[in-house]
Amino acid sequence: MQTPPTSRRSLLIAGSLALVPGIAGSRAVAGTLAGRSLTGSRTPADPAIRLATLTDIHYADADPRGNRYYRDSIPKVVRAVNAINDAHADSPLAFCTMLGDLIDSRGTPLEDGGLEEEIGYLQTIEAQLAKLNTDRHYVFGNHCVHTLTKHEFADHSAAQPSFYSFDRPFTTGSGSLHVVVLDACFTADSTPYSRRNFHWTDTNLPDHELRWLEADLAATTSPTIVLTHQRLDGDGSTTIRNAPAARTILEQSGKIVAVLQGHHHENSLTMIEEIPYLVMRAVVEGPGVENHAFSLVEVHADHSVLVRGFGTQADHKIGR
Protein backbone atom coordinates (compact mmCIF):
# COMPACT_ATOMS: atom_id res chain seq x y z
CA MET A 1 0.00 0.00 0.00
CA GLN A 2 1.29 3.43 -0.83
CA THR A 3 2.25 5.96 1.82
CA PRO A 4 0.50 9.35 1.87
CA PRO A 5 2.63 12.07 0.24
CA THR A 6 4.56 14.49 2.44
CA SER A 7 5.39 18.09 1.67
CA ARG A 8 5.88 21.39 3.45
CA ARG A 9 2.16 21.40 4.32
CA SER A 10 1.51 17.65 4.53
CA LEU A 11 3.23 15.82 7.37
CA LEU A 12 2.79 12.13 8.17
CA ILE A 13 3.10 11.39 11.87
CA ALA A 14 3.28 7.72 12.84
CA GLY A 15 1.74 7.14 16.27
CA SER A 16 3.43 4.81 18.73
CA LEU A 17 1.37 1.87 20.01
CA ALA A 18 0.20 1.93 23.61
CA LEU A 19 -0.51 -1.65 24.64
CA VAL A 20 -2.77 -2.46 27.54
CA PRO A 21 -2.27 -5.78 29.38
CA GLY A 22 -4.67 -8.75 29.33
CA ILE A 23 -8.09 -9.04 30.90
CA ALA A 24 -9.84 -10.97 33.67
CA GLY A 25 -13.53 -10.18 33.15
CA SER A 26 -15.55 -7.16 32.10
CA ARG A 27 -15.48 -5.25 35.40
CA ALA A 28 -11.73 -5.86 35.78
CA VAL A 29 -11.22 -4.72 32.22
CA ALA A 30 -13.07 -1.47 32.73
CA GLY A 31 -11.15 -0.79 35.92
CA THR A 32 -7.82 -1.37 34.20
CA LEU A 33 -8.70 0.90 31.31
CA ALA A 34 -10.12 3.57 33.59
CA GLY A 35 -6.78 3.52 35.36
CA ARG A 36 -5.20 4.42 32.01
CA SER A 37 -7.19 7.66 31.86
CA LEU A 38 -10.45 6.61 30.28
CA THR A 39 -12.02 9.25 32.49
CA GLY A 40 -9.11 11.46 33.50
CA SER A 41 -8.06 14.61 31.64
CA ARG A 42 -4.59 15.24 30.19
CA THR A 43 -5.25 18.90 29.50
CA PRO A 44 -6.01 21.78 31.90
CA ALA A 45 -9.61 22.14 30.68
CA ASP A 46 -12.25 19.46 30.36
CA PRO A 47 -13.15 18.56 26.76
CA ALA A 48 -16.16 20.23 25.20
CA ILE A 49 -17.33 16.86 23.87
CA ARG A 50 -16.17 13.23 23.75
CA LEU A 51 -16.91 10.32 21.45
CA ALA A 52 -15.68 6.75 20.99
CA THR A 53 -14.47 4.96 17.86
CA LEU A 54 -14.14 1.37 16.67
CA THR A 55 -13.26 0.29 13.16
CA ASP A 56 -12.65 -2.70 10.92
CA ILE A 57 -14.03 -5.37 13.22
CA HIS A 58 -14.30 -7.81 10.28
CA TYR A 59 -16.21 -10.37 12.32
CA ALA A 60 -16.69 -13.76 10.65
CA ASP A 61 -16.83 -17.32 11.92
CA ALA A 62 -13.66 -18.06 10.00
CA ASP A 63 -10.09 -19.18 10.58
CA PRO A 64 -7.37 -16.51 10.76
CA ARG A 65 -5.82 -15.23 7.55
CA GLY A 66 -2.53 -13.41 7.80
CA ASN A 67 -2.82 -11.10 10.81
CA ARG A 68 -6.60 -11.01 10.71
CA TYR A 69 -8.22 -13.01 13.52
CA TYR A 70 -11.89 -12.91 12.67
CA ARG A 71 -13.37 -14.82 15.61
CA ASP A 72 -11.25 -12.88 18.10
CA SER A 73 -13.14 -9.73 17.15
CA ILE A 74 -16.00 -10.77 19.44
CA PRO A 75 -14.05 -10.71 22.75
CA LYS A 76 -12.21 -7.58 21.58
CA VAL A 77 -15.52 -5.80 20.99
CA VAL A 78 -16.89 -7.05 24.34
CA ARG A 79 -13.86 -5.53 26.04
CA ALA A 80 -14.28 -2.22 24.25
CA VAL A 81 -18.04 -2.02 24.88
CA ASN A 82 -17.66 -2.58 28.63
CA ALA A 83 -14.91 0.02 28.90
CA ILE A 84 -16.75 2.59 26.76
CA ASN A 85 -19.89 2.12 28.86
CA ASP A 86 -17.91 2.75 32.05
CA ALA A 87 -16.40 5.89 30.53
CA HIS A 88 -19.87 7.04 29.49
CA ALA A 89 -21.22 6.46 33.01
CA ASP A 90 -18.45 8.60 34.49
CA SER A 91 -18.71 11.45 31.95
CA PRO A 92 -21.19 11.23 29.06
CA LEU A 93 -19.98 10.41 25.56
CA ALA A 94 -21.86 12.01 22.67
CA PHE A 95 -21.85 8.82 20.59
CA CYS A 96 -19.77 5.87 19.43
CA THR A 97 -18.91 5.49 15.76
CA MET A 98 -18.03 2.36 13.82
CA LEU A 99 -15.90 3.40 10.84
CA GLY A 100 -16.79 0.50 8.56
CA ASP A 101 -16.20 -3.20 7.89
CA LEU A 102 -18.15 -4.63 10.82
CA ILE A 103 -18.15 -8.00 9.08
CA ASP A 104 -15.79 -9.75 6.72
CA SER A 105 -17.09 -10.61 3.31
CA ARG A 106 -16.73 -14.29 2.44
CA GLY A 107 -16.75 -16.01 -0.92
CA THR A 108 -19.67 -18.32 -0.25
CA PRO A 109 -21.86 -18.39 -3.38
CA LEU A 110 -25.22 -16.72 -2.98
CA GLU A 111 -27.00 -19.91 -4.06
CA ASP A 112 -25.20 -21.73 -1.22
CA GLY A 113 -26.33 -19.35 1.50
CA GLY A 114 -23.79 -16.55 1.14
CA LEU A 115 -26.37 -13.85 1.85
CA GLU A 116 -27.72 -15.57 4.96
CA GLU A 117 -24.18 -16.23 6.17
CA GLU A 118 -23.19 -12.57 6.13
CA ILE A 119 -26.48 -11.44 7.67
CA GLY A 120 -25.74 -13.92 10.46
CA TYR A 121 -22.28 -12.40 11.01
CA LEU A 122 -23.82 -8.93 11.14
CA GLN A 123 -26.48 -9.99 13.63
CA THR A 124 -23.81 -11.57 15.85
CA ILE A 125 -21.57 -8.51 16.04
CA GLU A 126 -24.52 -6.10 16.20
CA ALA A 127 -25.80 -7.95 19.28
CA GLN A 128 -22.58 -6.94 21.06
CA LEU A 129 -22.52 -3.36 19.77
CA ALA A 130 -26.16 -2.91 20.83
CA LYS A 131 -24.96 -3.17 24.44
CA LEU A 132 -23.32 0.25 24.12
CA ASN A 133 -25.08 2.83 26.25
CA THR A 134 -24.38 5.59 23.73
CA ASP A 135 -25.87 6.47 20.36
CA ARG A 136 -24.23 4.51 17.54
CA HIS A 137 -23.33 5.86 14.10
CA TYR A 138 -22.01 3.55 11.38
CA VAL A 139 -20.00 4.24 8.24
CA PHE A 140 -20.33 1.78 5.36
CA GLY A 141 -17.20 -0.23 4.61
CA ASN A 142 -16.61 -2.20 1.44
CA HIS A 143 -16.88 -5.51 3.32
CA CYS A 144 -20.19 -4.43 4.88
CA VAL A 145 -21.84 -4.31 1.47
CA HIS A 146 -19.84 -6.86 -0.47
CA THR A 147 -22.84 -9.20 -0.43
CA LEU A 148 -25.54 -7.16 1.33
CA THR A 149 -27.28 -4.12 -0.08
CA LYS A 150 -26.95 -0.95 1.95
CA HIS A 151 -30.60 -1.22 2.96
CA GLU A 152 -30.11 -4.83 4.07
CA PHE A 153 -27.11 -3.80 6.17
CA ALA A 154 -29.12 -0.96 7.71
CA ASP A 155 -32.08 -3.26 8.36
CA HIS A 156 -29.89 -5.50 10.55
CA SER A 157 -27.86 -2.79 12.31
CA ALA A 158 -28.00 0.78 13.61
CA ALA A 159 -26.69 2.09 10.27
CA GLN A 160 -28.48 4.60 8.08
CA PRO A 161 -28.78 3.83 4.34
CA SER A 162 -26.04 6.22 3.17
CA PHE A 163 -24.37 9.60 3.90
CA TYR A 164 -25.86 12.06 6.40
CA SER A 165 -24.93 14.56 9.13
CA PHE A 166 -26.01 15.38 12.67
CA ASP A 167 -25.19 17.70 15.58
CA ARG A 168 -24.42 17.05 19.23
CA PRO A 169 -24.35 19.80 21.88
CA PHE A 170 -21.15 20.27 23.86
CA THR A 171 -21.28 18.69 27.30
CA THR A 172 -18.97 21.42 28.65
CA GLY A 173 -19.56 25.05 27.75
CA SER A 174 -21.75 26.34 24.91
CA GLY A 175 -21.80 25.28 21.29
CA SER A 176 -22.09 22.01 19.42
CA LEU A 177 -20.20 19.56 17.26
CA HIS A 178 -21.28 18.92 13.68
CA VAL A 179 -20.62 15.41 12.39
CA VAL A 180 -20.56 14.36 8.73
CA VAL A 181 -20.86 10.67 7.82
CA LEU A 182 -19.59 10.01 4.29
CA ASP A 183 -20.31 7.02 2.05
CA ALA A 184 -17.63 6.23 -0.54
CA CYS A 185 -19.04 2.80 -1.38
CA PHE A 186 -19.85 3.78 -4.97
CA THR A 187 -18.22 2.79 -8.25
CA ALA A 188 -16.87 5.41 -10.67
CA ASP A 189 -20.26 5.59 -12.43
CA SER A 190 -22.00 6.26 -9.08
CA THR A 191 -23.43 2.75 -8.74
CA PRO A 192 -23.83 1.81 -5.04
CA TYR A 193 -21.81 -1.19 -3.88
CA SER A 194 -24.05 -4.26 -3.62
CA ARG A 195 -24.08 -8.00 -4.31
CA ARG A 196 -20.42 -8.23 -5.37
CA ASN A 197 -20.77 -5.67 -8.16
CA PHE A 198 -17.52 -3.79 -7.47
CA HIS A 199 -13.79 -3.97 -6.84
CA TRP A 200 -12.74 -2.52 -3.50
CA THR A 201 -10.25 -0.09 -5.06
CA ASP A 202 -13.02 1.53 -7.16
CA THR A 203 -14.17 3.79 -4.34
CA ASN A 204 -15.74 7.17 -5.06
CA LEU A 205 -17.84 10.00 -3.67
CA PRO A 206 -20.49 10.60 -6.34
CA ASP A 207 -21.15 14.13 -7.57
CA HIS A 208 -24.45 14.37 -5.72
CA GLU A 209 -22.73 13.51 -2.44
CA LEU A 210 -20.02 16.13 -3.03
CA ARG A 211 -22.68 18.74 -3.72
CA TRP A 212 -24.50 17.70 -0.57
CA LEU A 213 -21.24 17.89 1.43
CA GLU A 214 -20.54 21.43 0.24
CA ALA A 215 -24.07 22.58 1.09
CA ASP A 216 -24.06 20.80 4.44
CA LEU A 217 -20.81 22.46 5.56
CA ALA A 218 -21.99 25.85 4.32
CA ALA A 219 -25.11 25.53 6.49
CA THR A 220 -23.32 24.89 9.79
CA THR A 221 -21.38 27.27 12.01
CA SER A 222 -20.07 24.48 14.26
CA PRO A 223 -16.68 22.79 14.38
CA THR A 224 -17.01 19.60 12.34
CA ILE A 225 -15.69 16.03 12.44
CA VAL A 226 -15.88 13.95 9.24
CA LEU A 227 -16.30 10.17 9.42
CA THR A 228 -15.31 8.00 6.46
CA HIS A 229 -14.24 4.42 5.85
CA GLN A 230 -11.95 4.81 2.84
CA ARG A 231 -9.20 7.40 3.11
CA LEU A 232 -9.38 11.02 2.04
CA ASP A 233 -5.60 11.46 2.44
CA GLY A 234 -2.89 9.71 0.44
CA ASP A 235 -3.08 8.45 -3.12
CA GLY A 236 -2.90 4.66 -2.84
CA SER A 237 -5.40 1.84 -3.26
CA THR A 238 -7.11 2.57 0.06
CA THR A 239 -7.84 6.19 -0.88
CA ILE A 240 -11.08 7.48 -2.41
CA ARG A 241 -10.39 8.15 -6.08
CA ASN A 242 -11.76 11.68 -6.08
CA ALA A 243 -10.42 12.52 -2.62
CA PRO A 244 -8.81 15.81 -3.81
CA ALA A 245 -12.25 17.19 -4.72
CA ALA A 246 -13.58 16.31 -1.28
CA ARG A 247 -10.52 17.74 0.47
CA THR A 248 -11.00 21.03 -1.37
CA ILE A 249 -14.55 21.27 0.00
CA LEU A 250 -13.33 20.51 3.52
CA GLU A 251 -10.53 23.04 3.28
CA GLN A 252 -12.73 25.80 1.92
CA SER A 253 -15.27 25.32 4.71
CA GLY A 254 -12.71 26.24 7.39
CA LYS A 255 -14.72 24.16 9.89
CA ILE A 256 -13.03 20.73 10.01
CA VAL A 257 -11.31 19.78 13.26
CA ALA A 258 -10.61 16.14 12.29
CA VAL A 259 -11.29 13.44 9.70
CA LEU A 260 -11.58 9.95 11.24
CA GLN A 261 -10.98 7.04 8.86
CA GLY A 262 -10.69 3.25 8.78
CA HIS A 263 -9.97 0.79 5.94
CA HIS A 264 -6.14 0.86 6.01
CA HIS A 265 -5.99 -0.81 9.46
CA GLU A 266 -2.97 1.26 10.54
CA ASN A 267 -2.29 4.03 13.04
CA SER A 268 -1.52 7.26 11.22
CA LEU A 269 -2.03 10.99 11.34
CA THR A 270 -1.57 13.14 8.25
CA MET A 271 -1.91 16.94 8.29
CA ILE A 272 -3.04 18.46 4.98
CA GLU A 273 -3.81 22.17 4.82
CA GLU A 274 -4.15 22.20 8.62
CA ILE A 275 -6.77 19.43 8.65
CA PRO A 276 -5.83 16.24 10.55
CA TYR A 277 -6.63 12.95 8.78
CA LEU A 278 -6.46 10.02 11.18
CA VAL A 279 -6.53 6.34 10.22
CA MET A 280 -7.67 4.32 13.22
CA ARG A 281 -6.31 0.88 14.08
CA ALA A 282 -8.40 -2.15 13.01
CA VAL A 283 -9.98 -4.36 15.66
CA VAL A 284 -9.40 -7.52 13.58
CA GLU A 285 -5.61 -7.22 13.49
CA GLY A 286 -3.68 -9.50 15.85
CA PRO A 287 -4.55 -12.59 17.91
CA GLY A 288 -6.26 -12.52 21.26
CA VAL A 289 -8.13 -9.90 23.21
CA GLU A 290 -4.88 -8.16 24.15
CA ASN A 291 -4.82 -6.85 20.56
CA HIS A 292 -8.09 -4.97 20.98
CA ALA A 293 -8.27 -1.45 19.56
CA PHE A 294 -10.59 1.47 20.27
CA SER A 295 -10.31 5.14 21.16
CA LEU A 296 -11.90 8.02 22.97
CA VAL A 297 -11.74 11.25 20.98
CA GLU A 298 -11.95 14.58 22.78
CA VAL A 299 -12.70 17.90 21.10
CA HIS A 300 -11.82 20.93 23.23
CA ALA A 301 -13.23 24.45 23.19
CA ASP A 302 -10.18 25.70 21.26
CA HIS A 303 -10.91 22.99 18.62
CA SER A 304 -7.84 20.98 19.59
CA VAL A 305 -8.35 17.21 19.44
CA LEU A 306 -7.00 14.51 21.73
CA VAL A 307 -7.21 10.83 20.77
CA ARG A 308 -6.81 8.49 23.72
CA GLY A 309 -5.91 5.11 22.24
CA PHE A 310 -6.45 1.77 23.96
CA GLY A 311 -4.96 -1.58 23.07
CA THR A 312 -3.15 -1.20 19.77
CA GLN A 313 -4.70 2.19 18.96
CA ALA A 314 -2.18 5.06 19.13
CA ASP A 315 -2.58 8.29 21.05
CA HIS A 316 -2.64 11.58 19.14
CA LYS A 317 -2.69 15.18 20.31
CA ILE A 318 -3.62 17.73 17.65
CA GLY A 319 -3.73 21.48 17.91
CA ARG A 320 -3.03 23.86 20.77
- Does 89 fall in a domain? yes
For residues 95 and 33, what is the distance between their CA atoms, to the nearest angstrom?
19
How confident is the model at residue 320, as a pLDDT?
Answer: 66
Give a yes or no: residue 197 inside a domain: yes
In this predicted model, what pLDDT tens digit does every residue of 188-207 receive, in sequence order? Answer: 999 999 999 999 999 999 99
Ordered mean pLDDT values, 10 residues apiece, the chain (320 residues): 35 33 30 37 73 98 97 98 97 97 96 97 98 98 98 97 97 96 98 97 98 98 98 95 98 98 96 97 98 98 96 93
Distance of CA 287 to the CA centre of its chain: 21
Does any domain span residue 1? no
214: domain CATH number is: 3.60.21.10
Beta bridge partners of 13: 269
pLDDT for 234 equals: 87
Q: Please report whether residue 234 resides in a domain.
A: yes
pLDDT at residue number 120: 98
CB 180 within 8 A of CB 224: yes
Q: Are 290 and 278 in contact (CB under 8 A)?
A: no
Buried-exposed string 193-214: b where 16+ CB fall within 10 A, e elsewhere = bbeeebebeebbbbeebbebbb
Question: Looking at residue 33, what is its pLDDT?
Answer: 37
Establish if 237 belongs to a structural domain.
yes
Domain hosting 89: range is 12-39+46-318
Examine residue 156 and state whether it is found in any structural domain, yes or no.
yes
Position 45 scores a pLDDT of 78
How many degrees, rounded to 5, is the angle at CA 229 between CA 26 and CA 177?
75
Count of structural domains, the chain: 1
